[in-house]
Amino acid sequence: MLYYLRNQILGIVDDNHGLQTELPDKYEGKVFLFGTQPQEVDLSKALRIPTWQEAYQIVKEHNPLQQ
């Protein structure tokens, strides 16, 4: 659904570390992975959000509408 709603939903914050592998390679939205990720997570396709205290700032910095 994220891919099909890509013009309406610009990204997602999730703790599902496998989410990025479920999205097509051409998905251009932002994937923010919350929490500690296992070593096999490809952080080149996602941004890490270690804590909720840091979430707002990280999402704000990577907002595609402000770039």
| pLDDT tens track for 1-12 | 877 887 788 788
> Chain-wide mean pLDDT for the chain?
81
Q: What is the pTM of this model?
A: 0.73
Domain ranges of the chain: 11-66
Q: Using CA atoms, how far apart are residues 66 and 58, in angstroms rounded to an integer?
A: 13
Summarised one tens digit per residue, pLDDT across range 50-64 is 888 998 998 888 876
Percent of the chain's residues with pLDDT above 70 = 85
How far apart CA 64 and CA 62 sit, in angstroms, is: 6
29 in Cβ contact with 6 (< 8 Å): yes
Work out the average pLDDT over 26-34.
Answer: 85
pLDDT value for 19 = 83
